Amino acid sequence: MRSINDLPIRSKFIMLYLLGVLLPIAILLAYVLNNVAAEIRARETLNAQQSLDRIYSALHQNFSGVVALGNAVSSDAELSRLLENEYASPVVYYNTYYMDIRRTLSRYSLAYAQLVTNITLFTSNPTIANGGSCQQITPLIQELEWFPEKLPADALLRVYLRQQIGQTGILQLCLTRTLYTSSRYTELLKIDLSMEPIYRLVENEVPFLTVYLVAPDGTAVCYPGSMLDSHITDRSVRPPATCDLHIAFGEKTAMRGWALMADINDEPMNQSIREAVWFGLLLGTLCSVFAGAMAFLFSRSILYRSRRLLRHMDNMTAENFSPIAHDHGMDEIGELTLHFNAMGSRLKQLINDLYILRLQQKSMELENVRAELKYLQAQVDPHFLFNTLNALLVLSVRNGHNEEAEIIRALSKILRRMVDTANDVVPLSTELEFVRMVLKLEQFRFGDKLQYTLSVTPEASMRDVPVMSVQGLVENACKHGVQSLNGQGIIRVTAWVDEDDALLVEVSDNGVGITPARLDALQSQIESQQDMVDSIGLQNIYRRLTLHYGQSVSLTLRSADERGTIVTIRIPNPKGG
């Protein structure tokens, strides 16, 4: 504490700003931004996974539809019979093809028009001529890329190169399977899938994902730009080895060995992170600048008035007792300035009186003035007064003056509390302890004329109140209520918590009361911003309450002529919102 006391006020505020404001803001900002970046990455990864799941579901549905079409065609008994027939001539076959076979295949194609482009039947029946949707299985056909290596062929998704008319070659997906016919001939079904829906699914996610439809051999069959890629013919495009997401199709389906892979586009995520970082830095900078400006203003206010007070103290040593005329404020330094001005005026008066006494050579009066001067000088240090009171306390106890000892002890505690500014808010139970001391002092002063009662609920005693708030109300009641009363005065202090969880403290007396007009004027003056000429204690209490609890606090007066006065303060529970 001594090292801290040796530091200048400005250095203390700088340390407070650096360690209590700037450093916590920097640590909190780093922590929050790190969590925000992790949250953005997790959110974007989850969105990417959901997008890939949506593409997978759509593709799986499309492929399942094509498999269902293949099952329907392969199980068509009439179509199998037409492929098994031996036709006497090509004319007989073409009539059957145009009347039955092509019509049946067209019906299937129309039912799945959005999923397939061609349905082709391949057969080893020598009486069926090549043309249209029926083809002979020839050695040339067997060498094609899509043709199964083994027959009978399973219903698997295959890929082969197809040359577009007037465009580059694209990779085409097809489904091949052997028809369920007799063993006399081999019939093979080939269904070409429409690549446009697949390409659109992949292309729609370009701003956020780069999606690859990967064949069992590891090559990319469909990816953004694959429909326009002139390098697709060499089948060399493969997804990056560091793809972020991967979904494999089922092993027991026609898509066995196929997979969906995706690479997350980091730029939108990085953009969101950058925006969050810049916003956090801007907010932290604004908070730091604001806190720094407030610290500068506070330190300047304290430092300027402290130096001004110090200069006037130095001038006082040169017998210059001119008061501090500038605005000194209402805080502790302002109060110290007021007391300093009062002390300077009093010292000047005492010195003048001392000078006159010296001139008049009045020895006794001269000694009295010197004693009074020493007493005023001792007031600068409160410890002198406390030590004096303690000495009187010891003397009273030693001489058996127990009642006087209690009064001195109470007075000492009250004075120590008045100069102690460490705690501005105390529990109500602590406040009421000092209220009892004040009432004991007043009772010592008034004798049997003053009686008092305190009634406080346990819940209310634990609530916090501004220091000396209830004590000020009690002192005001003694001064304005009991002092002017001819008979016995009674002061009651009651505190409880209402149904809205607010603390109510009520101080009442049976004094002379206040007229209605005066009561309305006092109530409006207490709540106004202008300083009151009289009853300044009530206004100060109300202002301290509003500083701690805002405008939701209230201080109300009730009275009737010759029927006493009731002062009630209502403090909401700050923990209750």
What is the rounded distance in angstroms from the CA atom of residue 202 to the CA atom of residue 221? Answer: 11
Chain center to CA of 202 = 39
Residue 412 lies in a domain: no
pLDDT of residue 401: 62
Task: Confirm whether 116 is domain-assigned.
Answer: yes
> Distance between CA 550 and CA 534 in Å, rounded?
24
The 10s digit of each residue's pLDDT in 221-258 is 888 877 775 555 556 788 888 888 999 988 777 888 88
Residue 34 included in any domain:
no
Count CB neighbours of 260 within 10 A: 25
Spacing of C-alpha 75 from chain mean position = 64
Residues 514/547, Cβ–Cβ less than 8 Å: no
Closest CA to 116 of 185, 195, 184, 49: 195
DSSP secondary structure string for all residues of 185-241: S-EEEEEEEPHHHHHHHHHTTTTTEEEEEE-TTS-EEE-TTGGG-TTGGGT-----T
Digit-by-digit pLDDT tens for the chain (577 residues) are 667 767 777 777 788 888 888 888 888 888 887 888 788 888 888 888 888 899 999 988 888 888 888 888 888 888 888 888 888 898 999 999 899 988 999 998 888 888 898 899 998 888 888 888 899 888 888 888 888 888 877 778 888 877 665 556 778 889 888 886 566 788 888 999 888 888 888 888 887 888 999 988 888 888 887 777 555 555 678 888 888 899 998 877 788 888 999 988 877 777 777 788 888 888 888 888 888 888 778 777 777 777 777 777 777 766 676 777 766 677 777 777 777 777 877 777 777 777 666 665 555 454 444 444 343 344 434 544 555 555 565 556 656 666 666 666 666 666 655 555 456 788 989 889 888 888 887 877 777 788 889 999 999 899 998 888 888 888 888 887 777 777 788 899 999 999 889 999 999 988 878 888 888 888 888 887 776 656 667 888 888 888 888 888 998 888 866 678 899 999 998 776 5
541: domain range? 426-577
| Residue ending a domain, choose from 248, 265, 282 | 265
Q: What is the CATH number of the domain that holds 188?
A: 3.30.450.20
Query: Residue 557 contacts by C-beta under 8 Å, 6 or more apart in sequence?
Result: 514, 519, 522, 523, 526, 565, 566, 567
Residues recorded for the chain: 577
For 253, phi then psi, to 5°, come to -120, 180
Instruction: Give me the pLDDT at residue 421, please.
Output: 47
**Domain CATH for 461:** 3.30.565.10
- What domain count does the chain have? 2
In a domain, 503, yes or no: yes
Strands 464-466 and 425-427 come out as antiparallel
In a domain, 478, yes or no: yes
Please tell me what DSSP assigns to residue 334. H
- Quote the pLDDT of residue 237: 81
Backbone angles phi, psi at 392, to 5 degrees: -65, -35
Which of 265, 280, 307 is the endpoint of a domain? Answer: 265
User: What is the C-alpha to C-alpha distance for residues 22 and 291, in angstroms, rounded to an integer?
Assistant: 9
**Domain boundary pick from 265, 288, 308:** 265
67 falls within a domain: yes
Cβ proximity of 521 and 534 under 8 Å: no
DSSP assignment of 292-324 equals HHHHHHHHHHHHHHHHHHHHHHHHHHTT-----
Nearest to 481 by CA among 532, 442, 520, 539: 442
Residue 569's DSSP bridge partners are: 505, 555
First-residue to last-residue Cα distance in the chain: 37
Handedness of CA 78, 81, 83, 89 (dihedral sign): negative
- What pLDDT sits at residue 387? 52
DSSP per-residue string spanning 520-540:
HHHHHHHTSSSPPSS-HHHHH
User: Which tokens go with 389?
Assistant: 């009171």
340 inside domain = no
What pLDDT sits at residue 396? 63
pLDDT tens across 136-177, in order? 888 888 888 888 888 877 778 888 877 665 556 778 889 888
205 SS3 class: coil
Residue 343 inside a domain? The answer is: no
- The candidate with the shortest Cα–Cα distance to 474, out of 513, 434, 520, 516, is 434
- Give strand pairing partners of 455: 494
Q: Are the CB atoms for 288 and 275 separated by under 8 Å?
A: no
Contact 125, 135 (CB under 8 A): no
